[in-house]
Structure 1
Amino acid sequence: MPSSTDFGRVHFTDRMTDDRHAAAEKITRNMPGMERRKERLILRGIGLLDRVDTGYRLSKAGKELGTAYRSAPDGTEWVKILGHLLLTREPRTRTLIKLISEPNAELYFTDDEWWGGSLQRATINFSDGKQLVPFAKSEHPIPNLRSAVRENSWWALGEWRDHEDLSAATDCRFVGQLKEDFSMHDISLAIRSSMEVLLHLGVIRSQADRCWLDQDAAVQTFGMTLANEFGWQSTGKKKSLREWIIQFADDLRLDTGFIVASELRDRLRQQGFDNPDREIARLESEGRVVIEATDYGQSRHGVGLYDDPSKQLIKLRVS
């Protein structure tokens, strides 16, 4: 394809937002990788598309991701591949995860919900009392994500350090297209996309106004190579179904005390439990899980526990 926009027109939609751009342009915007334009190197995305003389074609990583998705679109393997690409090729995501990989570091929002409130005032709180405001436009008086990327620029580049155009390089700096500093415009929106992937995998955990990295889950999901790179420490203990239910029930509990059954089911599937309803029923029959209350939800709440629509919302107790 001559351009990533053309790729979007052909493979995603033919609906136009104006005479020049496809509606799917934002989908394809981060699909190319590192490109040379005259004397400058431009990093455009995670490299699902390769630049060739005639335009763009699917890269090896793009083909691998596509094959995994077609094989099991409802599974987690393709999500793991996407998560791995983000953690190895997206400098801002890499830097944020490096920051919250520090012991007891947590990302706090200004409202009691995931990615809620004023994101420019969201803070990463560290165990030594220091703070970082990752999505703030200015890095004064408290550092933001741009200053953190600047301090870790060569590390943040990740797998792109092996790119042929960087074979003789030992360091780098990130600059903007028009200014010396790269833009922080909509940075929280861009990072949220990456964080949603890691949240789906259970690597990021969220409760009320905060989220943090589950290092055990990170090691289990992505392996020791990334664990060593980010400094993750695993306890080595594999959690039981009961322990996962306790964790996820705590994460997913609404203000009413109910849990959306389909969300609990999805989280358990991500941890390798093929039939969560059957496993919950087993624990319930053994008296180790008690369903204390159930209720109907809405269509967005999905299939209820045991395929019962009156159990879309559940209150459970683990004994």
Structure 2
Amino acid sequence: MEHRNETPISEFILLGLSNEPELQPLIFGLFLSMYLITVIGNLLIMLAVSSDSHLHTPMYFFLSNLSFVDICFISTTIPKMLKNIRTQNKVITYEGCIIQMHFFILFATLDVFLLTVMAYDRFVAICHPLHYTVIMKPRVCGLLVLLTWIMSALNSLIQSIMVLWLAFCTDLEIPHFFCEVNQVVQLACSDTFLNDLLMYFVTGVYGGISLTGILYSYSKVVSSILGISSARGKYKAFSTCASHLSVVSLFYCTVLGVYLSSAATHSSQSIAVFSVMYTVVTPMLNPFIYSLRNKDIKRALKRIIGMAAI
């Protein structure tokens, strides 16, 4: 068996999306634009919800939390990527890599659970409209968000600690633009069986709970909508769910696409490119999806823009 050096390491190398020097300015400009659009768009959603009393409802409370998480989610990866391109330095410290991995897992898990909570909110609103204000009280909404934070923090903490126990060798190149946990674990010299087991178990349990909750909620929602006699009533009920359903579909389809592409190809570089969809594109599109199909959000945004123009 080949002897491998397991000396303590101080840094990793993030290979990024491309090694071609002529593509770096294009990648920098593209991702800087997407980052700014994401941050500004989600900040506007949060500002609209907080400034308009008509939007102080559970649905918009969860939406503003989702916007905050999306800003944090994209901010864990893109600023470091842009800095590396700008300085032409692909190094990330060992501590920085663990911290980035921790917060990436935290906010990715939060995204998943917040989408589930929002599906439950739509289920109560459509299927139990007379009891909606009783069931979805402010205290209950706050507890639901707190629960998502606790479960997400527990997941990210355990997975980060498990990576800290690993020993790494001299091959420290991560074929990604951020410290993705699976890519980092693959670089370890020590046994990664427990890490892989935990990763698949948590993904299965958390993903299964979330997807089951969303599918159950929307199966009940669809049944209730089909039971509405008037076409106008059906359209109104469906329109309250369309934006959230679009965001859920976009998020899960892109994540599923990444996992299918990783199973179909052995190119880590291709997986990194595919992962841009759910790490960057989805958080960027969420504000547009909610604002374009929601009259209340559009009205609040117009008022904010009008005040800013004065």
Give the TM-score category using the shorter length: under 0.3
Higher strand content, 1 or 2 = 1
The TM-score normalised by the length of structure 2 is 0.24
Where relative contact order (Cα < 8 A, 6+ residues apart) is larger, the structure is: 2
